[in-house]
């Protein structure tokens, strides 16, 4: 064996490195996940544009003197994606797109390629998973492509580096990182050291040549990008595609973003012509809401800068066993328990002997405290069999004393409710000054949860 090569054992789940084989990983406690890999102790060059690792002298630059050009970001013309990215693709950035198999990663990136190619950028789509024919079949469904988009079926990173240097594209898609391999590393493609080294090479290409690279990453059963966690540290942006397999919509969420906010989400719908943007998610989420039944109310949660209205459903029924059953789907289980305890103690509603099921309709996941008031009112509505009118929405955080606390951006939430035709909004008293006067909407300010309950009872 060569002198500069050594054998290391890696945990396939979390990337834990060890010089000995172990049955259980000390890092993530998984069993039988260690694999043997040969790593060469080769020096890697440092990355970064304008960075010379060999020179001893380095000259710092005055921040004020750095000029940014006007067209610093390239727009993908897919509004939902541009927003999640923080306003377009930054040249020289490395973006990791993760998600379950079949959720639409390849489809979305092919659509991005199409739009960027149409606006005059040269784009290279490198696939290690599908043949040219398969990509063509998908492209047929998406629409017309122009000559700026070139395809390559390749898995060897050195070849890829050579092609990128020769063709100088402004954007590259790598589908997927788990199929790529580097000749210097002897382990199989998809293994921890291969994925890490491949990402490293791609980062050097991206930073060195100013090309934006999108990497597709597969996810493990736990929902993390397969391979070491360091992958997420190395790239600039990590986007996750989420969504219910059974629902047609998909949510793109930024988990990390060096060039923008991480709260923003993009909502897409899978059609037979590819992924379509959902411009108004609230309308989409409220589709199919039943009218005139108890245990249902519309609440409002902010996802980044955008208010999204969702239906909250609750079902409260007598428990047949000593310990009541509680379930929360789409929201925090402990939060639901806390709110039920507040209702029990402060409002005097007897829930201790009741089973309770709370569900955010449409498969969305929401954890913002602003939906507290909605959850509480849905539980009361189901328990007392009160029908909350369809035109009512509620938002506000509920504290342990039963007080309704302030939430951010109340004005925007009211405006969204008005836009979708709701005429009554129950909201915290403390938000009065920030909302101001709104015509056409009946604003019900409450300071205590009891006041909100009294309001829905009176209207029944």
Contact residues toward Mg ion (CB under 5 A) are 106
Nearest distance from residue 130's CB to ligand TYD, in Å? 8
Choose from Mg ion, ligand TYD, none: what does 101 bind? Cβ within 5-8 Å by kind: ligand TYD
Q: Does residue 177 interact with ligand TYD by CB under 6 A? A: no
The helix or strand, by DSSP H or E, that contains position 397, with its residue range, turns out to be strand 397-398
Nearest distance from residue 306's CB to ligand TYD, in Å? 24
Tokens found for residue 231: 């992958």
Nearest distance from residue 203's CB to ligand TYD, in Å? 22
Query: Which of the stretches 18-26, 40-48, 86-94, 272-280 binds ligand TYD when contact is defined by CB under 6 A?
Result: 272-280
Q: Does residue 123 interact with ligand TYD by CB under 6 A? A: no
Query: Which of the stretches 112-120, 146-154, 268-276, 289-297 binds ligand TYD when contact is defined by CB under 6 A?
Result: 268-276
Residue 275 or 456: which CB sits closer to ligand TYD? 275
Nearest distance from residue 129's CB to Mg ion, in Å? 6
Cβ-based neighbours of 151, under 8 Å, separated by 6 or more: 124, 125, 126, 127, 132, 135
Choose from Mg ion, ligand TYD, none: what does 273 bind? Cβ within 5-8 Å by kind: ligand TYD
Q: Does residue 274 interact with ligand TYD by CB under 6 A? A: yes
Nearest distance from residue 134's CB to Mg ion, in Å? 10
Tokens found for residue 455: 């309001």
Q: Which residue is nearest to Mg ion (CB)?
A: 106
Residue 90 or 149: which CB sits closer to Mg ion? 149
**Burial class of residue 406, CB neighbours in 10 A (0-12, 13-18, 19+):** middle
Residue 106 or 194: which CB sits closer to Mg ion? 106
Cβ-based neighbours of 139, under 8 Å, separated by 6 or more: 110, 114, 145
The helix or strand, by DSSP H or E, that contains position 174, with its residue range, turns out to be strand 171-175
3-state helix, strand, coil in the chain (%, to 5): 30, 30, 40
Residue span 85-114 as binding mask against ligand TYD, x where in contact by CB under 6 A, dash where not: --------------x-xxxxxxx-------
Nearest distance from residue 215's CB to ligand TYD, in Å? 12
Cβ-based neighbours of 354, under 8 Å, separated by 6 or more: 316, 317, 318, 319, 324, 383
| Rounded Cα gap, residues 124 and 151, in angstroms | 6
Residue 115 or 186: which CB sits closer to ligand TYD? 115
Q: Does residue 272 interact with ligand TYD by CB under 6 A? A: yes
Tokens found for residue 446: 């409450």
Residue the block writes with tokens 């829905």: 456
| Rounded Cα gap, residues 275 and 29, in angstroms | 38
| Rounded Cα gap, residues 84 and 95, in angstroms | 12
Residue 32 or 273: which CB sits closer to ligand TYD? 273
Binding footprint of ligand TYD on the chain (CB under 6 A): 99, 101-107, 138, 141, 270, 272-274
């Amino acid at each position: 064996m060569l002198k500069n090569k050594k054998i290391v054992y890696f945990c396939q789940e979390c990337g834990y490195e060890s010089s000995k084989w172990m049955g259980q990983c000390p890092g993530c406690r998984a069993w039988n996940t260690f694999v043997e890999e040969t790593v060469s102790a080769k020096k890697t060059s440092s990355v970064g544009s304008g960075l010379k690792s060999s020179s001893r002298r380095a000259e710092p630059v005055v921040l004020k003197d750095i000029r940014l050009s006007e067209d610093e970001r390239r727009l993908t013309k897919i509004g939902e994606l541009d927003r999640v990215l923080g306003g377009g693709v930054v040249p020289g950035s490395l973006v990791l797109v993760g998600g379950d198999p079949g959720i639409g990663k390849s489809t979305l990136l092919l659509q991005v390629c199409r739009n960027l190619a149409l606006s005059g950028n040269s784009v290279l789509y490198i696939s290690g998973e599908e043949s040219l024919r398969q990509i063509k079949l998908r492209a047929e469904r998406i629409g017309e492509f122009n000559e700026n988009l070139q395809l390559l079926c390749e898995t060897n990173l050195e070849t890829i580096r050579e092609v990128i240097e020769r063709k100088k594209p402004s954007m590259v898609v790598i589908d997927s990182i788990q199929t790529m391999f580097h000749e210097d590393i002897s382990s199989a493609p998809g293994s921890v050291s291969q994925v890490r080294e491949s990402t490293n090479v791609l980062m050097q290409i991206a930073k060195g040549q100013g090309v934006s690279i999108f990497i597709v990453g597969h996810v493990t059963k736990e929902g993390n990008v397969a391979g070491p966690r360091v992958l997420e540290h190395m790239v600039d942006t990590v986007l996750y595609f989420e969504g219910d397999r059974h629902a047609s919509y998909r949510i793109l969420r930024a988990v990390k973003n060096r060039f923008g906010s991480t709260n923003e989400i993009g909502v897409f719908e899978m059609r037979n012509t590819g992924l379509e943007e959902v411009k108004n998610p609230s309308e989409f989420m409220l589709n199919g809401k039943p009218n005139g039944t108890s245990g249902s109310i519309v609440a409002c949660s902010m996802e980044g800068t955008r208010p999204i209205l969702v239906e909250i459903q609750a079902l409260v029924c007598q428990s047949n066993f000593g310990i009541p059953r509680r379930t929360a789907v789409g929201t925090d289980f402990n939060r639901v328990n806390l709110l039920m305890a507040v209702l029990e103690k402060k409002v005097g509603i007897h829930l201790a002997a009741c089973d309770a099921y709370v569900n955010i309709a449409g498969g969305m996941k929401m954890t913002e405290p602003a939906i507290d008031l909605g959850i509480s009112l849905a539980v009361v509505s189901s328990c007392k069999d009160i029908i909350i009118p369809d035109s009512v929405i509620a938002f506000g955080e509920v504290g342990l004393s039963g007080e309704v606390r302030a939430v951010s951006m109340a004005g925007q939430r009211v405006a969204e409710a008005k836009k979708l035709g709701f005429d009554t909004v129950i909201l915290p008293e403390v938000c009065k000054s920030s909302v101001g006067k709104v015509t056409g909407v009946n604003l019900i300010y409450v300071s205590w949860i009891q006041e909100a309950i009294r309001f829905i009872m009176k209207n029944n």
